Each structure stands twice: as structure tokens, then as C-alpha cells.
């Protein structure tokens, strides 16, 4: 075997696609505040498995905080100011989470990101998110900030069409990714989460997705 065979072109480091900024471990400075806030949010607005418009139960459990929350049901995907399960407004966006989102966006070159929606995705072992685009927001010039906590997961970042072979990003506890500009409408998803134990979150991956919805 030749030495060059150890590094085939498919394993070579590839630069990140334009519009994607990966801030490894960036959220760890806010770790305790984030975990405390999530604990309180899920008491007021419990995690639940939504149905797609087609009637499928999602493997990811979801809830929201902030002025607007993303929901899905037989009538479609949309943002709502109230939790359909309780009829009450979603819990407030915690100040540390707002600060983290603005700092991450700024580090990625977006000067004044002011999220009005935070979707909380909870993945147990085997949960996944199939390739999709985020296009329920009014202003597609605003970035999306995502915060990964707990078990690691392989994030799939595709291109402009569902058929482009996705780049695989291993996201771990504390990683923050900012998606904007040319990456904003890319297809993306999450491969099935492998079982494991995280010291702070147990058998779970939590992703916070902060968006400007309106
Ligand atoms: C890339 N959640 O909730 S967050 C979603 O890890 C969602 O739970 C994933 O995709 C998760 O819609 C990924 C990262 C993310 C969010 C929005 C994007 C990546 C994105 C929009 C465009 C491109
Ligand atoms: Fe998405």
C-alpha cells in the first residue's frame, strides 16, 4: 500500500461551505445557564412529538421559547405565539440564550441578530431529522444560530437540492453553528443519534435553533 492511499480524496479536509461558520465549544461559557433554562422551559412547555402535515409522528421531541414557536400539525408548518397544547404564550427567551445567539452571530459576521424564536429539539437514541429546508421565516437574510448539547450527532449539510451528497459535520456538546447567506436555504438534516451517556444530559441530544421568524 502506498502512503498516499491512507488519505484518499474523500477523507481530505474540505473547507466549510460558504455561509456556514462552525464555532466549536462556543456555548460552553454559557453551559450551566443554558441547562438551567432548558429545565425550566420544559416544565412550562413540555417536549412533545409533533406530527408532520402528512400525519407522521416526528422522532424528535420539540418545544419552543421566545415570542414565536415553530409548530407542525395536519394543517402545515408555521410559527405561533402560543403553545397549542396549553393555549399560553411560549416561555420567554432566556437572557443568556439571547446573549449567546447574538455573540455567535457577531462572531460569524452578522452584526445585530435579534432572534424572536427558539425551537428546542430533543433527540433520544435513534431519533433523526430527514433532509429539509428552513423556509417558514419571513426574512431569509437573517442567519440561523444552532447550539448542540448532550450526545454527539452527525449533522448533514446538503446543497441546493435534496440530491447533492451531504457534507457530514460531527457536532458535539457546546458546538454552535451559524448558517446564513448562501447556506441559509441549503438542505440539511441529522443522522440517527447513536445511543450513549452524556455526563450532563444523559441519553439525549438537545439542539437549540434560534431564528428570526418575523
Ligand atoms: C442549515 N434542526 O430544527 S440545527 C431544524 O440539529 C433543524 O436539530 C437541526 O434543522 C438539529 O430545522 C439542525 C442547524 C440548522 C438549522 C437551520 C439551518 C442548520 C441549517 C438552515 C439552513 C441550513
Ligand atoms: Fe432545519
Q: Domains plus CATH for the chain? A: 22-211 (2.60.120.590)
Does the beta carbon of 186 lie inside 6 Å of ligand 1?
yes
Give me the pLDDT at residue 1, please. 47
Give me the pLDDT at residue 6, please. 60
Give me the pLDDT at residue 162, please. 86
Is residue 205 a contact partner of residue 143, using CB atoms and an 8 Å limit?
no
Is residue 66 a contact partner of residue 92, using CB atoms and an 8 Å limit?
yes
pLDDT < 70 regions, the chain: 1-14
- In eight-state DSSP terms, residue 11 is G
Please name which of 171, 211, 166, 207 lies closest in space to residue 187, comparing C-alpha atoms. Answer: 166
For residue 62, the number of C-alpha atoms closer than 13 Å in the C-beta half-sphere is 22
Question: Which residues sit with Cβ closer than 5 angstroms to ligand 2, an ion?
Answer: 134
Please name which of 53, 214, 176, 77 lies closest in space to residue 134, comparing C-alpha atoms. Answer: 77
- Residue 145 CA to residue 148 CA, distance in Å, equals 10
Does the beta carbon of 146 lie inside 6 Å of ligand 1?
yes
Residue pLDDT, tens place only, 163-182? 888 999 999 999 999 999 99
Residue located nearest, by CA, to atom 4 of ligand 1: 146
Amino acid at each position: 500500500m502506498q502512503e498516499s492511499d491512507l488519505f484518499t480524496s474523500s477523507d481530505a479536509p474540505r473547507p466549510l461551505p460558504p455561509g456556514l461558520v462552525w464555532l466549536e465549544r462556543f456555548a460552553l461559557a454559557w453551559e450551566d445557564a443554558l441547562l438551567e433554562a432548558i429545565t425550566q422551559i420544559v416544565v412550562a412547555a413540555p417536549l412533545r412529538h409533533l406530527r408532520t402535515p402528512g400525519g407522521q409522528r416526528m422522532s424528535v421531541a420539540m418545544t419552543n421559547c421566545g415570542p414565536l414557536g415553530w409548530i407542525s400539525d395536519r394543517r402545515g408548518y408555521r410559527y405561533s405565539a402560543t403553545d397549542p397544547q396549553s393555549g399560553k404564550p411560549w416561555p420567554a427567551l432566556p437572557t443568556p440564550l439571547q446573549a449567546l445567539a447574538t455573540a455567535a452571530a457577531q462572531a460569524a459576521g452578522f452584526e445585530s441578530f435579534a432572534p424572536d424564536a427558539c425551537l428546542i429539539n430533543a433527540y433520544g437514541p435513534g431519533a433523526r431529522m430527514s433532509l429539509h429546508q428552513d423556509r417558514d421565516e419571513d426574512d431569509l437574510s437573517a442567519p440561523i444560530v444552532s447550539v448542540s448539547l448532550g450526545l454527539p450527532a452527525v449533522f448533514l449539510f446538503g446543497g441546493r437540492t435534496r440530491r447533492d451528497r451531504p457534507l457530514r459535520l460531527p457536532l458535539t456538546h457546546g458546538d454552535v453553528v451559524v448558517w446564513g447567506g448562501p447556506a441559509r436555504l441549503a438542505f440539511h438534516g441529522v443522522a440517527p443519534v447513536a445511543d450513549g451517556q452524556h455526563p450532563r444530559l444523559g441519553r439525549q441530544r438537545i439542539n437549540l435553533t434560534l431564528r428570526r421568524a418575523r
